[in-house]
Amino acid sequence: MRFILAVLISFFLFGRLANTGVPIPVRLTNAISQMNASNFIAGLLVAVALAPATLAADEPPPKEAFQVLQPVAASGPRITPLLRYQTELAWKQDEERRAAWNAIHSDEELLHLQDELRTKLLQMIGGLPEEKTNLHPRITGKIHMDGFSIEKLIFESLPGVYVTALVYLPEDHSAKHPAVLLPAGHATNGKNNYQELSQRLAMRGYVVLAWDPVGQGERSQFWDAKAGKSRYNLICAEHAVLGNLAYLAGTNLARWEIWDGIRAVDYLLTRSEVDGERINIVGTSGGGFQAAQIAALDKRIKVVVPSCYITALPMRIFNRIFADPDSDPEQDLFGMISNGVDHPGLLLLMYPRPVLVAAAVLDFFPIEGTHQTFREVRDMYERFHHGDRIALVESYNAHQFSLENQESAIEFLDHFNYMPVRHGLPRVKTLEDKALQCTRTGREMLDFDDATSLMDVIGKYYDEHKNTHAGTLTQNYFGDGYNGVKKWQVSEYAGLQTAKDLISWESLGSTMAGGVSIDRYLLRHSGQLEMPLLHIHTSAKGKGDVLLWFRDDGKATSENWAEIKKYLDDNYEVISIDFRGLGETKMPYKAISPDDPAMTRMDFDQAYVYPLSSVLAGYVYNSILTGRPYFLQLIEDAEIAARFADEKLRLRVTAVTAPGNAYTLASAVSETLPNIKLLPQTAGVILKWSEIVRQRREIWPIQYLMPSGAYIH
């Protein structure tokens, strides 16, 4: 009886093995022939345990079969290969800029460089509005203070674009006063957050114009009147929604922030109290960004004080994900580093005007970058005998305009505005936000029936430029930033860092599943980057077409087995990859804005890709600064995978597909890379950049951001 049972078990187990297509081990058959019935079962089970891991055809392989890299031991910030690659690229571009600047030896050459920088800056923001329309200024209230007054001002920088502002006026009307523009930094209450500095300046004899940037203070663009709050936070999140859409339309949110500042100058020149030859600008954080950009493009501003902003952008690329993950697109102009501008270029556009750079040693704008940029531009000032017009002050604190830096800034302003020498800061009286409110409701979009949302202004900009031809996607991909992948060599990994024009591969094992082999490879390329790759095929290897398959998060997993098996049954071999920064190459870090508590409730996968503050958004904006959009780099990864398949596996990728939003990338790969057809996908979605702009979509996958994408045909 035991013998019969043993035979039945042997037939059952041998049948299971045979169905998988795996040869039965010789050691197993020998063991059976030598065993008696009593120990056959035990011997058979031991032999089966020694056989290769196999599965029935219908069973999905274990998740380990799709895992190329070793699991990360613990979550947290990492200096990932992609971050190293982005930083190295930024420094290379910065070195090229510095080499060009070192060749400047005359005033004429310097002025020519300024013209080039100004042209590039205007191109990066999409130009400025051509017409200065009527400001329609109105004073909605006045507050009398000790030694000065505060007027509540509303003006239109463009028709229907209302700017809420406060004008601080010294009581002394015996002479014209110098004026200070004070754009607000990233604060929920906008201009009101800077009332203490405004009061100090007014008590020192300056007319001060402080205003709310769009998306802050009284200028929320996404205000939910019923809920009594914006759909997004009023620190950086509204900027992110607006700025991401502006990229697609071929412009930048900075265009309208700068224009608000230029029109603020226009308003000051209408005031009889203001000396038009002594207009200055001071700003910190986002206000420091605005101060630098506005002064760079408006020569009517005589003295410039940017605080908590100036650094070297390659250092900002390196630390932004860890130190300041909020998405803030107006500060990431497309090509800001690759076009040779960066922060030194902004400062040089102010030459020979006086500039004081104020910095915080513990700022998330790296202080080492501040020192480097300042020294570089100071050397240029000194080379042409204006070294006394540029200075740096710093204090040992985090991201704020410290009182000691404020005092230094006011003394700097006093000197170049021919004001009396004074020391110390006057006492101030802080007012409630409600007291400083310029509009009736506290929201300009609710107060004015003809108020125009900046989302609509961006849409109008697109309509005015929609006949612009930004080339085809293929032309953009194979343009100036193309790395020449189609000519790269492919070789086995030799244990050294990969050259920039070499794809080195390393085989990291294989798993059999129901007659299907899952071969695992790690590709190293571009000097820094790693790409986990799967080659999934039946035993009839090399006889079918080759399909590139992926999903939003990267390569296939066991959860996708049913779909992968469908393509295998259709005689495809499948290549599946993790794109840079996705899948197994993700940084195991949840970079969430401390300014938005709602974001902290997201799970890791949601938080990683959130367009308003995330690791992936940081990678995308880094790519914007260096001039090669992340979206095009994803296509490059597909080309690298196809190049490896061709050279190492002797297989030609002929088709591509992906589920969900990833079908957008699949479509782009098919359109861009030759001889790769797009397979239909019932669950596939193709996002069209022009439709996103026309529909004023607020949230969409950040990895598909393509500057000027709305004009690509």
Q: Which pLDDT score is estimated for 50?
A: 33
| Domain chopping of the chain, boundaries | 2-52, 65-69+78-87+471-711, 104-224+253-465
d(CA 390, CA 540): 72
Candidates 1.10.1740.10, 3.20.20.10, 3.40.50.1820, 3.40.50.1480; correct CATH number of 65-69+78-87+471-711?
A: 3.40.50.1820
* Amino acid at site 648: K
Cβ distance 255 to 125 under 8 Å?
yes
Cβ distance 703 to 680 under 8 Å?
no
Instruction: Tell me if residue 311 falls in helix, strand or coil.
Output: coil
For residue 146, CA distances in Å to 149, 209, 211, 213, 233 come to 8, 18, 22, 27, 34
Q: Which pLDDT score is estimated for 60?
A: 92
Closest by Cα among 640, 634, 636, 653 to 504: 640
Structure tokens at 322: 């860890």
Structure tokens at 144: 């009398």
d(CA 239, CA 328): 6
d(CA 690, CA 711): 7
Averaged over 265-291, what is the pLDDT?
98
For residue 674, CA distances in Å to 486, 542, 635 come to 11, 20, 12
Cβ distance 657 to 679 under 8 Å?
yes
* pLDDT tens, position by position, 625-664: 999 999 999 999 999 999 999 999 999 999 999 999 999 9
d(CA 571, CA 674): 22
d(CA 269, CA 266): 5
Q: Tell whether the model's pLDDT for residue 5 goes beyond 60.
A: no
Q: Which helix (H) or strand (E) holds 522?
A: strand 516-525
d(CA 82, CA 88): 10
* pLDDT tens, position by position, 197-206: 999 999 999 9
Q: Which pLDDT score is estimated for 591?
A: 86
* pLDDT tens, position by position, 433-484: 999 999 999 999 999 999 999 999 999 999 999 988 889 999 999 999 999 9
656: β partners: 548, 678
Angle at alpha carbon of residue 328, lines to 322 and 334, rounded to 5°: 105
Q: Which pLDDT score is estimated for 677?
A: 98
Q: Which pLDDT score is estimated for 34?
A: 40
Which range has the worst mean pLDDT, 29-38, 125-134, 527-536? 29-38
Q: Using 50, 70 and 90 to split pLDDT, how confident is the model at 210?
A: very high
Averaged over 181-194, what is the pLDDT?
97
pTM value is: 0.91
Backbone angles phi, psi at 276, to 5 degrees: -65, -15
Q: Which pLDDT score is estimated for 186?
A: 95
Q: Which pLDDT score is estimated for 212?
A: 98
d(CA 106, CA 103): 9
Cβ distance 217 to 234 under 8 Å?
yes
Q: Tell whether the model's pLDDT for residue 214 goes beyond 50.
A: yes
Q: Tell whether the model's pLDDT for residue 2 goes beyond 70.
A: no
Q: Matching CATH topology for 65-69+78-87+471-711 and 104-224+253-465?
A: yes
Report CA torsion sign: 699, 702, 707, 708: negative
d(CA 522, CA 533): 6
Mean pLDDT for all residues in the chain = 91
Q: Tell whether the model's pLDDT for residue 30 goes beyond 50.
A: no
Q: Which pLDDT score is estimated for 543?
A: 63
Q: Which pLDDT score is estimated for 136?
A: 98
Superfamily of structural domain 104-224+253-465: Alpha/Beta hydrolase fold, catalytic domain (3.40.50.1820)
Q: Using 50, 70 and 90 to split pLDDT, how confident is the model at 25?
A: very low
d(CA 563, CA 60): 11
Can you give the C-alpha Rg of the chain in angstroms?
A: 31
Averaged over 563-585, what is the pLDDT?
97
Select the more confidently predicted residue: 525 or 7: 525
Q: Which pLDDT score is estimated for 55?
A: 52
Structure tokens at 638: 């597909």
Look up residue 353 and give its DSSP letter: S
What angle, rounded to 10 degrees, do the helices at 254-268 and 286-297 form? 70
